Structure 1
Amino acid sequence: MRTFLILSGSLLCSTHVFANIEEITVYGHRTGLIGDAISASSGIIGQGEIQSRAMLRSAEMLELIPGMAVTQHSGSGKANQYFIRGFNLDHGTDFATSIDGMPINMRSHGHGQGYTDLNFIIPETIATIDYQKGAYGAAQGDFSTAGSAEFNLADNPKHQQLDISIGEDNYKRLMALGTLGVANGKIIIAGEWQGYDGPWQDINEDVDKKNAMIRYVGKAWDGDLSVTAMAYDNSWNSADQIPQRAVDQGIISELGSLDTTVGGSSSRYSLSANWQGQHINANAYVINYDMDLFSNFSYFLNDPVNGDQFQQVDSRTISGGALSYQFVDTLAQMPIQHTLGVEYRRDDIDQVGLYNTKQRQRLSTVREDVVNEASYSAYWQSKMSLSQALEASLGVRYDYFDADVDSNNRVNSGSADDDLVSFKASLNYLFNDNLAGYVNWGQSYHSNDARGATIRQDPVTLAPAEKVDLLVQSNGAELGLRYFDQQQFNLSAALWWLSLDSELLFVGDAGNTEASDASKRYGLELSAYYWLNDALSLDAEASFTHSRLDIDSSDDRIEGAVPVVASTGINWHITQQWQSSLRVRHIGKRILSSDGDKRSEPLTVVNGLVSYQQTHWKVGLEILNIFDSTDHDIDYFYASRLAGEPADGVEDNHFHPIEPRTLRLNFSLLF
């Protein structure tokens, strides 16, 4: 295998094995993939690709997915903002994530539906990230409207290692990863600590992040068994988004804060087990999760005396599991691979609350709830080889949700249930050894916050409130091509379409539901990878999206939608020991108002990485935001009130800047 191909795990984003047809050789950090009937926009990201990217935050691992953008509007300990396929996913509403079978998205969460906090993941423990844009597989369930990603923990880490990183703004990180052989298997142990003050002028982030993992992998009951315990604890202060006028008037700088007492803490502890036999896969998990978050986005609009700071609390236990069975059958001498699966998940939320606060001291309760929410799912998918070149896949999925809400306001207590049947279909055609075509169609859904499904009275105004459906269905389709030249060039292209029955969401910041309409989106995605020689490779990715509400009005823009996401990079293996990479990320002007009149400025940032490695040690330098851009990570347009302003406030652009240029030095011992 040629060295230059090993350098680029990006190739894995555009490769596929056609089960029962013909295997396309996969170059990169894996040499073989077990194929499903997937789309042109699906792929696998390897650990080598993760290591080759300079990243400000661990959640930026998701930016390895072509067309995905990851930003932040608050403190480092909070879940990031995600954008893909015309969705402002907020903190994860329409993109499903999981790790070794455990769900990451949080239902009926205190800060936002589908809340996806990836801070508990130690990047060095990840072997691969399997992603699918769109929802064309029957195993894809809640939150998978725009797609899904599965983080797979490493069973065989390439190295045992000890990492020490330091950087500007008092950035410090320690990471250790080791293995221990035991009977019939091994134990993998990893730990991480990170501290960071941030570049902000009025606030010290004081990040104190701790992660730990202990994992057993081995043989049991004629199959492969893994048992994993994970622990995460973090606390931080936040530099929230700020109004443009406060900067223009000289009240604060672009790196300043109007409320210096916001921030939070969060923890996640889990135990999971996975077993895989010849025909059966099974997993089970239990997760204990807590979050305590203080924010202030409107300053003195609602309370001119104490200010508008609020606290969001979430404390829950999640338990569940999944079981699938695979077998092969024939129909008229045509081989068919069947997969049958069932899933169960229960969220026991003993406290999810919203409170008015001042300097992190509670003043009053907006609402406080106990929520018990369970889902039961079953699916069937069959994949058949219709000819030597043509493969088809058909699937159906059934989901049933049941929720009980016990609110501090009896009017908002109650029960809700809902169910959905989703159908999936795909065709893959192999034109020749290098060119394949894909046609995909699928239905999916996202769940709404259970509190929105039982609400009768707005907790702030006490006015009647409209309930929302517990489940919201989507329909999507895709037409794609993938070209794979084993020597130099790799290209994938997808033209996609997606409709969503309703953009209804529970707004955690306000404690009520916000009604919207059905929506439609379509777009084009391109990914290309080119190897100039054994040492130098280039890649480019671009996503173009058109997003509209499905209404007869000029106010049909979807706020937060991103029309363009693009990136390009170069990997240069200078010598056997020296390696470097340079990457440009661009996010186009985001829509900030329903009439499309208000838009953000585009964001462009350049990051670089250079490293030198010997057999037992490695040193690397990351340069983040090389050209010291002052673009914005996120923008919102809404009304807020500063001291002395009119009671109704002032509509303004509120933004969070990207962090200034920063350098980070890493030293690793490899065993």
Structure 2
Amino acid sequence: MKKNSCFIPFLFFVCCITSEAAFCQIKVSGRIMDAGTMQPLEYAAIADLGCNGAITSSDQSGNFTLFLKNINDSLAVSLVGYKTQHVHTGSHGNITIELEHAVLNLKDIVVLQSNSVTKFSTLSKIDLDLKPVRNTQELLRLVPGLFVAQHAGGGKAEQIFLRGFDCDHGTDVQVSVDGLPVNMVSHAHGQGYADAHFIIPETINNIDFGTGPYYADHGNLNTAGYVAFRTFNNIANSRVEVEAGRFNTYQALAMLDLIKKNKSKQSAYIASEVNYTNGPTINPQHFKRFNIFGKYNLAINDRTQFTASVSSFASGWDASGQVPGRAVANGLIDRFGSIDPSEGGQTQRHNASLLLIHHFTNGAYWQNQLFYSRYLFDLYSDFTFYLNDPVKGDEINQGERRNLAGYQTKLNHQYQLGKFSLKSTYGAGVRYDATQDSKLTHVVKRVFLSNIQLGNIKETNGFAFTQQQFSEGKWLLDAGLRADYFHFCYFNKLSHLQQPGQSKMILSPKLNIQYTATAAFQLYVKTGKGFHSNDTRVVVANSGKEILPAAYGTDLGVIIKPNKKLLLNIAAWYLKLNQEFVYVGDDGNIEPAGKTLRKGVDVIARYQLANNIFANVNINFTKPRALGLSKETSYIPLAPTATSTGGLYYKAGKGFNGSISYRYIKNRSANEDNSIIAKGYFLGDASINYTKPSYEIGLAVENMLNSKWNEAQFATTSRLQNENTAATELNFTPGTPFFARLKLAVFF
């Protein structure tokens, strides 16, 4: 707590200044909407064209508040992909502004002073528009610097890499959709397991993301960063889409607009998706997935909005697993073969969310959300083959049934204190996870042999936070404080022992400062403390030691718009973790990895070459190291050191559209002493579409150069059936070769 002591008095002072003062300022509130769909528009820039020169942005409900010196001032409202509109406020205290679609143009991007802790959310919406995605892997890859790998036949949550972290399946990156948490704490397969396959990509309207632990409204698992997906409130039209590709790959999608009139009052749509593929492996994956999602919006009155959403998802698959390099080298199996083809699994998730937002007459708004998930998981894996059991083999089964419920509330208000503008946010909530029969068992060909671990988990996380954002002239100070309380309980069904529950609380201060010299130049520094919780089974087994390892980080960055067509964000950063200490579900053991330090540089660039031609590039360099070890043994396994993504995109309203994109990851260490190397890769993808108002035909190609690459890689000790001794080497899942797919979509 000593590291936090310098923050606490300042934050206490900041959080107590909340009384409103009227210094001859005129408050104008309003809402920004899409003129066609009446979809609320987030991150629209609202600028005062009068002498005050104030500027702000709309929130996720499209609402904004701006303080003017003259009620007759005009406002300029702009958002990428929409026509800029000038509005005369007159005597109206509350206005609705409807923006019409226009050709994408980077000149509409404004470096906002008020947008201190959200990086490039508007640009992620552009990327979504320029490069439509077909699955959650492609959705996640839209986040600059984020890489994913799939190594279990398509049904398992992706392995995530971000800012020098091998986040496993989500240990160090927080993922959510419409406020619903995706990560599963104390999961049977790994802490923070983030299976986002219940998301239908075509329903995603925007991706909010941030790197580092600098955001008061994001708590557990937000160390490397967070990703928050947001779905459309309503859709412009209905669509039916079919797709077919190599490896017996098929997909069908339907999105139906259920209420076509008066969408500002109420709207509803339903989306459903069916997927099937055998994959490129010799043993067919028989992967199948079904998704359904529905959303309903109701304006109860002019100030109160109600939203309800439900979704359901189920999938099943077979997997060829991770391939030992020596088995391929000696000809025992093909690169796309398998040692144990009985791997695979099935999973289900069913979600419900209720959201109520009320806007007060003073410009404040209050948001309340209830959510619930029912989750089932069953996974068969074999990593070591005949290392532990030379007769029956080492195949394991991990599984659980889970109920997840929660409530969260947030109050936002904006004040004018003389020359200072103050935005205050207060939030609180609770999340409760209860699992039944969280298990790790020994199996052979999916047939039960014996239990290794079996028990029930109850984990509660209560939290509260405040964020105070002061701005005056070109300066903005954003201070936050978050408190999280955890309670862990575990009942061991093998020993019939209810182990003593453990509790812990952690405070996470945040402080972000920025200087916006012009609408084209901004400097910022972000500092903060974050954490990831450990698995309940680890917590109770270790009597509460190292429950909430903290992470301390700093970013120093600049956002530059040297001309109307180019936007750059460059940031240097470091992040220190007190303990990379997680539950390893594959063998039931505890592996504390000690303290770590990561340093890096991120570069994000967007450029518009012509009216319809865009380019982007993201470059990330990181030096990840374990602390307290010799230089030769301080490598962090699988931690990326250099990555890059980018592409060229041609986007027209009608007719032909297309893109060419790439992703690159450098060779990196697969173990602590750098004696085993995980191989890097460079992949190119391309797509072309012909779009008309009533239909679209498209062709997409992945790995267009047919590169030979490894998707997931691990340094693993294993023994094959015909071997007398074990070997430690690189095991891998082969990456997909050249893959083409055709699409036909009909709009109505």
Q: Which residue matches 1:621?
A: 699
Give the aligned residue type for 1:65: V
Aligned to 1:547: 624
Which residue number in structure 2 is paired with residue 204 of structure 1? 284
Tell me, yes or no, if structure 1 residue 403 matches structure 2 residue 488: yes
* Matched residue SS, 1:470: coil
Separation of aligned partners in 2, 1:246 and 1:394: 55
- Corresponding residue for 1:463? none
- Other-structure match for 2:733: 656
Measure how far apart 1:314 and its partner are: 1.6
Matching residue of 1:86: 164
Contact 1:52 1:609 in 2 (8 A): no
1:319 is matched with which residue: 369, 383, 405?
Answer: 405
Distance in 1 separating the partners of 2:138 and 2:638: 19
Which of residues 107, 116, 127 in structure 1 aligns to 2:205?
Answer: 127
Q: Give the distance between the partners of 1:18 and 1:146, measured in 2 at CA.
A: 33
Amino acid at match of 2:308: V
Distance 2:113 2:358 in 1: 18
Identify which of 691, 710, 726 aligns with 1:632: 710
Aligned residue number for residue 551 of structure 2: 474
Which residue in the other structure is 1:22 paired with? 55
Paired residue for 1:185?
A: 266
Note the C-alpha offset of 1:60: 2.3
Q: Note the alpha carbon deviations across 1:389-443, whole angstroms, 9 max, x for none.
A: 1111101000000011001235683311111000001111111121111111011
- 2:328 paired residue number: 247
User: Taking structure 1 as reference, are residues 67 and 129 closer, same or farther at Cα in structure 2, changes over 3 Å only?
Assistant: same
Alpha-carbon distance between aligned partners in 2 of 1:16 and 1:652, rounded to the nearest angstrom: 53
Instruction: Answer yes or no: is the 8 Å Cα contact 2:599–2:624 preserved in 1.
Output: yes
Q: What aligned pairs does 1:426-465 form with structure 2 within 5 A after superposition?
A: 426-455=512-541
Give me the whole-angstrom Cα distance separating, in 2, the residues matched to 1:81 and 1:349: 23
Per the alignment, residue 294 of structure 1 pairs with 380
Secondary structure of 1:59 counterpart: helix
> How big is the alpha-carbon RMSD for the aligned residues of Structure 1 and Structure 2?
2.4
What is the aligned-residue identity percentage? 27
Q: Deviations over 1:341-372 (max 9, x none)?
A: 00110001112100000010110000101001
1:491 to 1:14, Cα distance in 2 relative to 1, 3 A: farther
Partner-residue secondary structure (3-state), 1:452? helix
Long gaps (5+) in structure 1:
1-11, 457-465
* Counterpart-to-counterpart distance in 1, 2:159 and 2:207: 19
Equivalent position of 1:224 in the other structure: 305
Relative to 1, partners in 2 of residues 1:18 and 1:292: Cα closer, same or farther, differing over 3 Å? farther
CA distance, structure 1, for counterparts of residue 467 and residue 551 of structure 2 = 19
> Partners in 2 of 1:591 and 1:153 — Cα distance?
38
Q: Indicate yes or no: 2:247 matched with 1:161.
A: no
Question: Aligned pair in 2 of structure 1 residues 467, 255: CA closer, same or farther (>3 Å)?
Answer: farther
Higher normalized contact order (CA 8 Å, seq sep 6+, divided by chain length): 1
Q: Deviations over 1:506-558 (max 9, x none)?
A: 00001121111111111000011111111322111100001111114231111
Unaligned runs of 5+ in 2: 1-40, 58-77, 83-100, 102-107, 360-364
Correspondence 1:500 to 2:577: yes
Q: Equivalences for 1:546-625 in 2 at 5 Å?
A: 546-554=623-631, 555-573=633-651, 576-625=654-703
Q: State the Cα distance separating 1:575 from its structure 2 match.
A: 8.8
Distance 2:634 2:581 in 1: 15
SS in 2 for 1:532: strand
Structure 1 pair 159–168 and aligned structure 2 pair: CA distance change class (3 A)? same
TM-score, normalised on structure 2? 0.83
SS at match of 2:192: coil
Query: Which region of structure 1 is more displaced relative to structure 2, 170-179 or 41-50?
Result: 41-50
| SS of structure 1 residue aligned to 2:708 | coil
TM-score, reference length from structure 1 = 0.92
1:513 to 590, 595, 615: 590
Inter-partner Cα distance in structure 2 for 1:143 and 1:17: 34
Contact 1:67 1:566 in 2 (8 A): yes
Flag the structure with larger Rg: 2
- 1:49 pairs with 2:121: no
Out of 351, 357, 369, the position equivalent to 2:437 is: 351
Conserved? CA contact 2:654–2:692, under 8 Å: no
Say if 1:54 and 1:607, in contact at 8 Å, map to a contact too: no
Offset, 1:486:
6.2
User: C-alpha displacement at 1:243, in angstroms?
Assistant: 0.5
Distance 1:56 1:243 in 2: 31
Residues 197-243 of structure 1, C-alpha deviations (whole Å, 9 max, x = no match): 11111x11111100001111121253121100100010011121110
Q: 1:39 to 1:291 in 2, by over 3 A?
A: same
Q: 1:228 to 1:100 in 2, by over 3 A?
A: same
Structure 1 residue 333 displacement after superposition: 4.5
2:603 aligns with 526
| Number of the residue aligned with 1:645 | 723
Match of 2:337 in 1: 256
Q: Are the structure 2 counterparts of residues 424 and 574 from structure 1 closer, same or farther at C-alpha, using a change threshold of 3 Å?
A: closer
Paired residue secondary structure (1:454) = helix
Over residues 370-390 of structure 1, what are the superposed CA-to-partner deviations in whole Å (9 max), with x where a residue is unaligned?
0011010000110011x2111
1:113-135 deviations in whole A, cap 9, x for unaligned?
00011111000111111111112
Alpha-carbon distance in structure 2 between the residues aligned to 1:572 and 1:646:
57
Aligned-partner residue type, residue 667 of structure 2: K
Distance in 2 (alpha carbons) for counterparts of 1:295 and 1:71: 16
Q: Give the match for residue 170 of structure 1.
A: 248
